[in-house]
A and B are shown apart, each in its own frame.
Chain A
Amino acid sequence: MNTLSTLLTSSGVVKQFGEIRAVDGVNLSLKRGDIVGLVGGNGAGKTTMLRLLCGLYRPTEGGISFHSKSGENRPIHEIREKLGVVPESTGLYHRLTAWENIRYHSRLHGIDDDVAWNRTLRFANALSISDELHRHTRGFSRGMRQKTALLRALVHGPEILLLDEPTAGLDVTSARMVRELVRKLRDEGGTVIYSTHHLAEAQMVCDRIIIMHNGQIRCDGTPDELMAETNTGNLEDAYVALTSDVARTDSIEEKEGKMARIWRTLLTPSRHNKEVAEDE
C-alpha cells in the first residue's frame, strides 16, 4: 500500500465572500495515511477550509486537486465518492432510523444494501452502537448522532474522511472510541482531516496539526515541531503564540441580500442615534 504518496494538494487557495477572505492563500499537501488536525478559533476559516476540501465551495483563487494512486490529478469536486464527511451538525434525518440514514447515503453512493449493512455492522460494533441501528434518530443523544454520522460517512469506504468536531458532545468513553476508530482507519491507509477547537484532542489523535487563524495557515507540523517553532513547552502556549494578533470579527455566515440589509438598517436603531436621542 502506498501510504506515503500525496493524496491532496491545495495551491494558493483563496475563498472570498464579499469583502472577507475567509481562506487566504492556503497551500497544503496531504499524504495517504495522515491524520491531520485542523485547529483554530471561531472565524479562523476551518469550516470554510473543510467545505473547500470536500468540494462544497469552489475556490475564488487557486485549486485543490486529488491525486489518484495511478497518478491522475482531478479537481476535488469531481471525486466526491472518495470522500466521507461528518459535518458539525451531523445532518441526520430524525424521522428515519440510524440504518435508514446510513442506507440513504450508501444508495446515493451506489453501494448495495448488503455490502453497506456489513460495513455498517463492522464499524457499529467498534462504536458500540449496533443495537441502536433500527431506532429513529429523533431520540438520539448528541454522541449517538455523532456515531451514526460517522458510520454513514464510512459506509462507502472513503479514501479521505473529513470530520468537523467529531467528538463534540461525546462522553469520555465514546470520544475514545471515535479516536480509536480514526487511528484504525489511518492504519488501514485512510486519510483523516480532523477539525477541532481543542488542542488536547488534536494532540491525542493527529499526526500533524495545522493551526489556522484569520483564514491563513499559521503553522503546519507535528506537535513537537509546533512547540519547537514557537519556543514553547506545550501546545497551548504554541497556539497562543501563533495566534496572538487580533482575530477578525466579521462573520462570513451572515451574508444577506441588499434589500434585507437596507430593511435591517432601517429597523435597527443604531447606537449612535440612540446616544444622540438620549443627549437631546
Chain B
Amino acid sequence: MSNFALRLRRVRTIAWKELVDFVRDWRTLVAVIVIPLLIFPLLFFALPKILQMEAEERQANVLDIIIQGDSPDQDLFTLFDESLLNYSSESLPNGLDGDLSQPMGDDERLRNMEVSAILRLQHNQTNGTWNYAILRDSTQELSGEAFSRILEDLKLWESNLTNETLVANGLDPEDTLNPIRWSGDSDNADVASDAEQAGWALSLFIPMIVAMWTASSAIQPSIDMTAGERERGTMEAVLCLPVKRFDLLAGKWLAVATISGTGVILQVVGLLFAVQFITSSNSFLQMPALSTSAFLLLLAAVLLFTVMVVAFELALAVRSRSVKEAGSVLGPMIILIIFPALFAQFINLEGIEGFWFAIPVVNILLAMRELLTDRVISGHVLIWFGSSLVYALLAAWYASKQFNREDLVESIS
C-alpha cells in the first residue's frame, strides 16, 4: 500500500471510529437527527396550530362590555350579538370634557375584570358623526379580545353608514370608494416563476440555517473529539500511534463535518417540508430553479464554509484540556457566526459592492442568497470563492498548528 493510500485509510479509520463513537450516544442522535428534522415542521405546524386553538378558545368566550353615552342604532347591537359581546348601557361619566379616552374611575372595573371593555359613544347632532373610545386593559387577553371585536364591529358599522350616506346622495359606493382597481389576477402579473419565487423565499432562510447550524452543531462533536479525548486520556494513546497529526485532524474534521452536514441537510429538508405544507403546493418539495453552475457553486460555498468553521472550532477546542474549558470558549464563539449571518440577511443584493463578498461569514451568506435566486455573477463568485478559500486554508493551517502542540498529550485528569 502506498504511503498516500495508507494515510487516506487512516483518515477514514479515524473518521469512522469518531462517527461510531459519537452516534452510539442516543442524546447525540436526538441532537443531530431528530431536532434538526423536526424544528421547522414544529415551528411551522405545531406553533400556528397551538396559536389557532388558543384564538378559537378566546373567540368562543361571551364577553361582557359596557356601552356608555349615546345609544347607537340597531345595526351595531346586531353586530355585537353576532360577535358574542354581552352589552349593557350606562351614561358617560361626568367631567370628560370632550375627551372620551379618560378612564375617569372606570379603570378599576377593567383591572378587576368586571367587564372586558367599555365603549364610549357620543353622537354629534350637527353633522351626524360619532366619536368613540374603547377602554381596555392591554395586559388582559380577554380585554384585548373584546377590544378587537368592538373595533371590528365599529368598522363594519362605519362602512354600512358610509354606504347608506353615499346611496342617499345618489352615488355608487363601489365606484366612489374604490375608483382605482387591479385588473385580473395579480399573481399572473408576476413574471417570476414559482420555482424562482421559491428560490427567493428560501434564500431568506437557508443561508441562515446553514451558517448557524453548521457552527452550532459542530461545537459538541468538536469538543468531544478533542478536549473530551484529552480529558478522558484517550488522546495520549492515539498520539503514540504512527499517525501524522494532520491525518488525525483530517479524520476528526471529516467526522465533525459529516455530523454537522447531516444536521444541516435534515434541517433544510424539514424547512422545505414545512414550507411545502404551508403553501400546499402539488409537488412534495418545492425546489428553487437552479442552474447546474449555481447548484455546484452553492455546494462549494457550503463546503468552504464547513471547512473553515469546523477547522476553527476543532482548533479552539483542542487547545482546551477539559470539556468545560472548551465549552466556555466555543459557546460564545457562536456569536461570531450569528451576528454576521443576521447582518447579511439585510444587505440589499441589487447593486451590491464587491467588498461585501470578501468579509468572512458574510461572504458565504451573500453568495448563498445570490445563488439560490440563480444569479451567478462571475465577479462576485471570484471574490467569495477566493476569499473563502483563503479563510478555509487559514483555519485549516491554524487547526493543524494546534494539533501539533506538544501539550496535547496533557490531560486535566
Contact = CB atoms under 8 A, between A and B. Distances in A.
B189 interface: no
Contacts of A85: 237, 240
A89 B236 contact: yes
Interface stretch (A4-12, A106-114, A182-190): A106-114
Most chain B beta-carbon contacts within 10 A, residue among A85, A91, A95? A91
Nearest to B325: A260
Given A56-B240, A107-B13, A149-B237, A89 B232 contact: yes
A81 B235 contact: no
B234 A92 contact: yes
Nearest to B1: A110
- Report, as a range, how many residues of chain A touch the other chain: 20 to 34
Interface stretch (B20-28, B94-102, B171-179, B367-375): B20-28
B242 A91 contact: no
Interface in B130-178: none
A278 interface: no
Contact of A109 (B232, B233, B242): B242
B238 A255 contact: no
Contacts of B243: 108
Given A95-B21, A104-B13, A107-B13, A89 B240 contact: no
Interface stretch (B41-49, B106-114, B351-359, B403-411): B403-411
A179 interface: no
A91 B234 contact: yes
A226 B55 CA distance: 89
Contacts of A107: 9-10, 13
Contacts of A119: none
A55 B407 CA distance: 13
Contacts of B6: 110
B413 A108 contact: no
Contacts of A211: none
A80 interface: yes
A55 B411 CA distance: 17
A51 B409 contact: yes
Contacts of B410: 253, 255
Contacts of B13: 104, 107-108
Contacts of B285: none
Contacts of B240: 54-56, 80, 83, 85, 87
User: Main secondary structure on chain A at its contact with chain B?
Assistant: loop
B235 A91 contact: yes
Given A81-B242, A107-B9, A108-B241, A93 B21 contact: yes
User: Main secondary structure on chain B at its contact with chain A?
Assistant: helix
Most chain B beta-carbon contacts within 10 A, residue among A51, A55, A83, A108? A108
B14 interface: yes
A91 B1 contact: no
A91 B236 CA distance: 7
B385 to A, nearest CB: 35
Contacts of B242: 80-81, 108-109
A245 to B, nearest CB: 27
B233 A96 contact: no
Most chain B beta-carbon contacts within 10 A, residue among A55, A56, A100, A109? A56
B239 interface: yes
B17 interface: yes
A140 interface: no
A57 B413 CA distance: 19
Contacts of A55: 240
A56 B236 contact: yes
Contacts of A191: none
Contacts of B406: 56-58
Interface in B236-257: 236-243
Nearest to A152: B237
Given A80-B242, A255-B407, A95 B25 contact: yes
Most chain A beta-carbon contacts within 10 A, residue among B10, B20, B237? B237
B21 A96 contact: yes
A104 B17 contact: yes
A105 B241 contact: yes
Contacts of A56: 236, 239-240, 406, 409
A195 interface: no
A93 B239 CA distance: 14
Interface string A39-71: 000000000000100111110000000000000
A90 B237 CA distance: 7
A104 B14 CA distance: 8
Interface in A100-131: 100, 104-105, 107-110
Interface string B385-413: 00000000000000000000011011101
A94 B406 CA distance: 25
A254 to B, nearest CB: 10
Contacts of B21: 93, 95-96
Given A56-B240, A80-B240, A253-B410, A87 B1 contact: no
A110 B238 CA distance: 14
Given A56-B236, A58-B406, 7 more contacts: A56-B406, A56-B409, A100-B17, A107-B10, A108-B10, A108-B238, A253-B410
16 contacts: A54-B240, A80-B240, A80-B241, A83-B240, A85-B237, A89-B233, A89-B411, A91-B233, A91-B237, A96-B17, A96-B20, A107-B9, A107-B10, A108-B243, A110-B10, A255-B410
Closest 4 CB pairs of A and B: A89-B233, A91-B237, A80-B242, A85-B240
Interface of A: 51, 54-58, 80-81, 83, 85, 87-96, 100, 104-105, 107-110, 149, 152, 253, 255
